[in-house]
Structure 1
Amino acid sequence: MLQLNAQVCSYSSTMIQQKIKGIIFDLDGTLVSSELDFQLIRAQVGCPREQDLLEFIAQLPSPYMRQEAMNIVHQHEMLDAQNAQLLPGVSHCLKRLSDMQIPMAIVTRNFSRAAKLKIEQCNVPISLVLTRDDAPAKPDPSGLLDIAKQWQLSPPHCMYVGDYLYDIQAAHNAKMRSCLYVPEDMPHFASESHHIIRNFDELPELVKAFT
């Protein structure tokens, strides 16, 4: 069941009629599994529950404190990467999109070593990858816009697929389509996404509908 959420399209009704010519993916929870315990990480670095973890670390008062906090995050990310698995339906979906000659990329909030390990371990056939080491972390749109520029595509012709609010926000900030992957319970922010897919078999069909 793929969905188009009309209530979020008032500012982009023209954009949503554009062809989908390129797809950018989130990594964790979208293409590969992730068991990161953000509550534990926040407790270990002293980050309040309501504050973004990366923003909190960036605002710590000394380089030493920032490095120590980031080392903790890196340890958790590397451990998570070692246990990552490709999510159901992803392999077949990516092959279909490749057969359709749709360029694909990944923009992730992971740091580069963890992202590289996950992609290699799970045999994700996408070579164009930007991490938070390459561009400001989502919901900043810089990484998404960089990909569109490399593809020589206007942002409205690109779609960002992810599983979290930051992914929707990054897509909107980049003036791209947003597609939320929701395999289980529908989150409260789902209505903010242009499209919703419940499994990856739906994604090529969504692309076909806009090509």
Structure 2
Amino acid sequence: MQFRGIMRAQRKLHRRPDRIMEQAIDYDELEAALRRCGSTWEVAQAHGLLCSRLATEGAPAGQAWLDQVLEGVDAGNAARAECEALLIAVHGSSYQQLSERQSAFILMLPDEFAPASTRAEALGHWCEGYLHGLVSGQRNDKVRERLSVEPLADLIKDMLQITRAAADDEGADEETEAAYVELVEYVRVAAQLAFEELADVRDQKRVSGKSPDALH
């Protein structure tokens, strides 16, 4: 599968990690917490949403993201506090990895022991969440303009293509596994590139809001 933005993104962000670092928050742990508290969001989808909001709005987007993922969850729900704590940790680590341009940045997806169909579906959900964040967040005119031209316009089109490919995936052979690994790496690099490309227009918006440490 070919993508318009993949070579451009990999040339600009060529820092492929030497090894996959363990997420500070376990995917299954957070997924279970979201189900216990009654959130309708899945982990991959929520993480994709977070990463796009961080790219367009910076750290202050954290509180709105937290409220959106926990929308409809009773504030008195005992499981909500546990879920909030995990989400705040995800927000802080994701923002740090993106802002410090760490090659350790990885997508929150099921591990390699999950069925291939489950992993492909989660990757599609991650991209859906990311794209939703781009169109639903608080964007100024300069952010909109930047998203409409290369390289970000191409990356957005590619993510749309990935969501469709993930939905249609039915295989579990070596070729499918190799394609999945390539797509995960592409999306990871694309998220880093978008964060960097929007840095100058994003910083103009950071006049109010909460830092990662201020989320509560």
Relative contact order (alpha carbons < 8 A, sep ≥ 6): 1 or 2 greater? 2
Name the TM-score, length of structure 2 as normaliser.
0.30
Greater percentage in helix: 2
Name the TM-score, length of structure 1 as normaliser.
0.30
